[in-house]
Structure 1
Amino acid sequence: MQVTETIRYVGVNDHQVDLFEGQYHVPNGMSYNSYVILDEKVAVMDTVDIHFGEEWMANVKAVLAGRTPDYLIVQHMEPDHSANISRFLEEYPQATVVATAKAFVMMKQFFGNDYADRRIVASEMSELSLGAHTLHFVMAPMVHWPEVMVTYESSEKVLFSADGFGKFGALDCDEPWDDEARRYYIGIVGKYGVQVQALLKKAAALDIAVICPLHGPVLTSDLSHYVNLYQLWSTYTPEKKAVVIAYASVYGNTKEVALMMAEELRKKGQEVIVHDLARCDMAQAVADAFCCSSLVLASITYNADCYPCMKTFINQLVEHNYQNRIVGFIENGSWAPMAAKVMQKMLEGCKKLTFAENVVTVRGAVTELAKPQVKEQMSALAAELK
């Protein structure tokens, strides 16, 4: 695949993987992207996952057409991108590897070699000329590992963005970008909004026409759309006014209350997304919580705590810096309902959360006798979620 006349795609699609990083469902697989820049000197941008070394090397050699690469640029040392560094450098012993100082420390850890005799240590806005192309290296620590850099090629205005602007899904699957990119960003990078903001400010000073990420499609048009989404995600700003209801139910009573709450909110004109935390894709539930302006957590009281899948969900929110939202609670407990108190306490370390004062409390089931009081509590909570 041609990115431009002189920049070629040599990555691979992975349809073998079911869980990316052992936890994210990827029904449409993954892409591991790599690129070759053809000039007076030739640069290869990153490698791919270990399981696709043969395919990747074949792709590289096909594009090289007998030429010898001069440089291997390593932007990120996570194994899905770096696993074939040693293999490449053995295949091309005259090639120089270019990376950050921290990346070379990691190479020693992964491969037992820091390539001190054949390396260039990149620093902030250091340059490498290939002839007509000039690479400018931009440091991007903690987006999302500490050794990360991105690379700007100034003649064709191409940003090689490492994990930035990546998404789940192989390139031979036709699907919208936003949803799987959001799920990828929140899960993989979401904790590091401050660091992403720092990188976006650097990128704003560059004239970018093409974005080449390490996962997902090459972006060539409407770049402001993708940048604007990254601006929202990295500042933890809701994309839309909507409510996510995430529930944990055992015998169906708490589920019934959660669905009643969804109906109450929809009657008031609110968009609502409902997740059964025991069965849903947890990463999707987390991504939706970050997308929407309000969240309702509904859980039974379980061992004087909230239910385990709810604890997992809240821990995921906290770990990814969930903030700047309104959060309401629904609790159920036959003799000592206290899930709401537990859930709020778990979230108290998050920044800029507004906790709704009205809590919906159910004792067992919503009987005809209890229904008026429960509906009154729901109406009060719904008013706060606006």
Structure 2
Amino acid sequence: MTRRFEFEKLGQDGKARLGVIRSPRGEIRTPAFMPVGTAGTVKAMMPESVASTGADILLGNTYHLMLRPTAERIDRLGGLHKFMNWDKPILTDSGGFQVMSLSNLRKMSEEGVTFKSHIDGSRHTLTPERSMEIQRLLGSDIVMCFDECTPFPADPKVSMESMRLSMRWAQRSREAFGDRPGHALFGIQQGSIYRDQRERSAELLKAIEFEGYAVGGLAVGEGQDTMFEVLDYAPDMLPEDKPRYLMGVGKPDDIVGAVARGIDMMDCVLPTRSGRTGQVFTRHGVLNIKNARHQDDPRPVDESCSCPACRNYSRAYLHHVFRAQEMISGMLLTWHNLQYYQDLMQGMRGAIAGGTFDQFQSDFHAQRAQGDIEPL
């Protein structure tokens, strides 16, 4: 097992990249989808179950964990991996996005952000230095720079000021991160939908030097067409020999489109959140388990899926337990959705390796266009 953090590109088909990230806690096959474990748990899942779907890495949330149970407590108890019983790699976000989206009464300055907790109203200050300290206490393998997630829409002047602040914070994050062999710090490209700003952000980040680079400031309401327009050029501005991470994405067709444009890593709450609300992702698109058409259907959600929900339970049962608000509903549907996402990643990795990624994309879209199987 390596003691270092390193990325190797194993193949390419068009812009789609096949690779592996090696870290002391294990290998991450890319393209990779990271399930979100916001508060030290992937909701409705046991860690062993998440691993069984094929996930190589989880995402943890700095903002939520610093407020409850606190990074200091997790550190005293042996770090986040031990605390949540996950021995594979963990990436932690910087807390910046949640501060902007969840906290009321926040005040931003050059130094950082002061905000009130959404839990109990207590006051906190998050700076690049404090974000690095929290993520070090958590013991995460991949640490994200502290940045401001530029709101959308933003006019060019506002976006430029926000991007420049994030780049100054990136420099401070790098200095505060220090020398931590086996751990990685990722810089985050900003610049909203403005190509010249994205270019400038990439130049500044490359000058600082990071172990990986994220494309930030997307999936914030701009729509898929606009996101893809930015992804047509933004990943190409980042180093070829480092992993590229698109934050907060997304729907299955977002993910396939992002990989086609050179993205290596993604995360999103969608598969887990949807599982708890009865939305089920399949090769044939999205179905809603609460619809009456499923109540007498003895067939599985997806006959080609290996998850327990599909192997052992009918649509009729899954419809019933969702309607009855039984906990097993969220557990089974979340497991299925995470399995679908990991199967999608595995399918893309195989297609890139075989030089058939264009065909994979065509088949993916054609299958989804067919819609769900006919009702009985």
TM-score by length of 1: 0.31
**Larger strand proportion, structure 1 or 2?**
1
Q: Which has the larger radius of gyration?
A: 1
**Larger helix proportion, structure 1 or 2?**
2
Q: Which has the higher contact order (CA 8 A, sep 6+)?
A: 2
